[in-house]
């Protein structure tokens, strides 16, 4: 069995203005295995968009974390605690995806 079997990819979508806050959170919990994609443009609805323009200002970012399947539930609990610390109007979405070899 490969040591990377049963790994999961956790995708976290968050407003780019809170990127540093999430990075600091990962430092606090000693988690250092992630990738960040900045400047993601998003459309949430006809009237809510982050397109990095004067009309639709703002951008989002996507964090990609890879970790063993048996560590996912604990990470999700910690991320739920982090989410509770964000202002009400800040969107943070999380997806868990199986990783193939």
Q: What is the pLDDT along the chain (101 residues), one digit of tens a residue?
A: 566 678 999 999 999 999 999 999 999 999 999 999 998 887 878 887 777 787 777 889 999 999 999 999 999 999 999 999 998 888 899 999 998 76
Output the pLDDT for position 21: 96
pLDDT attached to residue 3: 66
pLDDT score of 41? 81
Look at the alpha carbons of 14, 38, 23, 32 in this order and tell me if their dihedral is positive or negative.
Answer: positive
* pLDDT value of residue 4: 63
Q: In terms of Cα–Cα distance, which of 37, 41, 33 is closest to 99?
A: 33
């Amino acid at each position: 069995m490969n040591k990377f079997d049963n790994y999961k990819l956790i995708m976290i979508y968050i407003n780019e203005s809170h990127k540093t806050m999430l990075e600091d959170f990962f430092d606090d919990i000693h988690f250092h295995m992630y990738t960040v994609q900045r400047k993601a443009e998003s459309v949430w609805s006809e009237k809510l968009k982050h397109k990095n323009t004067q009309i639709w200002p703002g951008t989002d970012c996507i964090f990609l974390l890879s970790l063993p399947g048996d560590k996912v539930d604990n990470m999700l609990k910690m991320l739920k605690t982090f989410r509770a610390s964000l202002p009400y109007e800040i969107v943070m979405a999380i997806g868990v995806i199986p990783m193939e070899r």
